[in-house]
Structure 1
Amino acid sequence: MHSFIPPERFFPYLSWIDIQAMPNKENVVLIQPVGAIEQHGPHLPLIVDAAIGVAVLGKALEKLDVRIPAYALPTLYYGKSNEHWHFPGTITLSAETLLATIVEIGESVYRAGFRKLVLMNSHGGQPQVMEIAARDLHINYSDFLVFPLFTWRVPHITWELLSPQEKRLGIHAGDAETSIMLSILPNQVKMEKAVAEYPPQQPEDSLLSVEGKLSFAWATRDLSKSGVVGDPTTATKEKGDRILESVSDGWVQVIKDIYAFKQPQANG
């Protein structure tokens, strides 16, 4: 049931007696992985985002100092994936349902006496939902510290391993995701079916981009016929091993930071 998570760090394996007796509960770090079940081209399974998040978190918790109390909650596999729903197999929640689910999980965590919750989101279609949930939870419970984080935003070396075109345009099922899947779930990757496909380009003088400071609304079928937005054909397990180690190292540091974090208090 714990998947990649070390069993001693898996929250559901605790009893209510364990939780009731837990010391320093206000500084225990609880991490809610949030993924998606959505298409990732013809070569990758639907579980990519959730699998990557859990694998990164599991590796980070293995490395984390045993003196830092941190636990993984069960992965929320379904997310807001309606940009992919034109491709068979994608399962999506509405933004409203996902928001309500995250908020109610947070409220349950708060009632149990915990005060630090990380929303570890691995799907690019829902950071805004995580941010709204985190803000609302903190507004409703002023001593509740909620961190809406994206799995790939910690320091890591991935970009050093990608081509310039992939760094600029590869946003889904490309080199990085395929490489890390070759590392963690190689039997579920069908490299013989991998195809490269990049989105149609905006005029060179345009300020707009698919993802960036000035973006526009899109569905995946607007950008790709295969469901791939990037080049997975250059992916390797060796690259994936390096990415997994690097991203998990970043998560070790952020968990340490959250454990030590104190809510800012304005002077005056």
Structure 2
Amino acid sequence: MHSFIPPERFFPYLTWTDIQAMPDKENVVIIQPVGAIEQHGPHLPLIVDAAIGVGVLGKAMEKLDASIPAYALPNLYYGKSNEHWHFPGTITLSTATLTAIIMEVGESIYRAGFRKLVLMNSHGGQPQVMQMAARDLHVKYDDFLVFPLFTWRVPHITKDLLTPKEAALGMHAGDAETSIMLSILPEQVKLEKAVAEYPPEQSESSLLSWEGKLPVAWVTRDISKSGVIGDATTATKEKGDRILESVSNGWVQVIQDIYAYRQSKVDEG
């Protein structure tokens, strides 16, 4: 049931008495992985985002010093994936449903006495949902510290392993995701079906982009026939192993930082 998560770090394996007796609960780090079940081209399974999140978190928790109390909640497999719903197999929650789930999970964690919750999101279509839910939880519970983090935002070497074009335009099911899946779940990757497909280029004179500071709202079928946005043909397990090692190292650091973090208050006097 714990998948890649070390069993001693898997929250559901605790008893209620374990939790009741846990010391310094306000600084224990509780991590909610959030993924998606959505198309990732003809070569990758629907589980990619969920698998990457749990794979990275599991590797990070293996490396984490045993003295730092941190526990992983069960992965939330479904996310807001309606940009991919024209491709069969994609399962999506609405923004309202996903927000409600995050809020109610957070409230349950708070009631148990914990005060630090990480939303470890691995799907690029829902960071804003995590951010809004995190803010609402903190507004509702002033002493609840909620961290809406994206799996790929910690320091890592991935872009150094990609071509400049892939680093700039690869957004979905390309080299990085395919490589790390070859490391995490190699038996589920159909590399012989991998394709390279990039989105249509914006005008050089335009300030707009598909992603970035001035984005256009799009769904996947607007910019890709295969469901791939990038080059999956250049993926290798060797790259995937290095990416997994690097990203998980970043997560060790961020978990340590969150454990050490203390809420700041501006003096109102």
Same fold (TM over 0.5): yes
User: What is aligned with 2:66?
Assistant: 66
CA distance in 1, matches of 2:169, 2:206: 15
User: What is aligned with 2:180?
Assistant: 180
| 2:58 corresponds to 1:36 | no
Per-residue deviation, residues 63-113 of structure 1 (Å, max 9, x unmatched): 000000000000000000000000000000000000000000000000000
SS of residue paired to 2:31:
strand
User: What is aligned with 1:253?
Assistant: 253
| 2:109 corresponds to 1:109 | yes
CA distance in 1, matches of 2:11, 2:174: 32
Kindly provide the amino acid, as one letter, of the partner of residue 242 in structure 2.
Answer: R
Kindly provide the amino acid, as one letter, of the partner of residue 192 in structure 1.
Answer: E
SS of residue paired to 2:248:
helix
User: What is aligned with 1:262?
Assistant: 262
Q: How many residue pairs get matched? A: 268
Aligned-residue CA RMSD (Å):
0.5
SS of residue paired to 1:239:
helix
User: What is aligned with 2:97?
Assistant: 97
Kindly provide the amino acid, as one letter, of the partner of residue 115 in structure 2.
Answer: R
Shift of 1:264: 1.6
Per-residue deviation, residues 46-76 of structure 1 (Å, max 9, x unmatched): 0000000000000000000000000000000
Shift of 1:216: 1.0
User: What is aligned with 2:199?
Assistant: 199
User: What is aligned with 2:237?
Assistant: 237
SS of residue paired to 1:117:
strand
Q: Give the gaps of 5 or more residues in structure 2.
A: none
User: What is aligned with 2:148?
Assistant: 148
Per-residue deviation, residues 144-195 of structure 1 (Å, max 9, x unmatched): 0000000000000000000000011000000000000000100000000000
Percent identity among equivalent residues? 82
Shift of 1:227: 0.1
User: What is aligned with 2:53?
Assistant: 53
Shift of 1:124: 0.2
SS of residue paired to 1:56:
helix
Please give the TM-score of this superposition, normalised by the length of structure 2.
0.99
Shift of 1:263: 1.3
Shift of 1:265: 1.1
CA distance in 2, matches of 1:232, 1:25: 43
Please give the TM-score of this superposition, normalised by the length of structure 1.
1.00
SS of residue paired to 2:197:
coil
CA distance in 1, matches of 2:82, 2:263: 35
SS of residue paired to 1:146:
strand
CA distance in 1, matches of 2:218, 2:102: 25
CA distance in 1, matches of 2:49, 2:180: 11
Kindly provide the amino acid, as one letter, of the partner of residue 225 in structure 1.
Answer: K
SS of residue paired to 2:230:
coil
CA distance in 1, matches of 2:263, 2:13: 29
Q: Give the gaps of 5 or more residues in structure 1.
A: none
Kindly provide the amino acid, as one letter, of the partner of residue 87 in structure 1.
Answer: F
CA distance in 1, matches of 2:60, 2:225: 36
SS of residue paired to 2:177:
helix
Per-residue deviation, residues 6-27 of structure 1 (Å, max 9, x unmatched): 0000000000010000000000
CA distance in 1, matches of 2:260, 2:179: 33
Give runs of ≥4 in structure 1 deviating > 3 Å. Answer: none
| 2:226 corresponds to 1:226 | yes
CA distance in 2, matches of 1:189, 1:32: 26
CA distance in 1, matches of 2:62, 2:85: 35
CA distance in 1, matches of 2:154, 2:3: 22
CA distance in 2, matches of 1:123, 1:264: 30
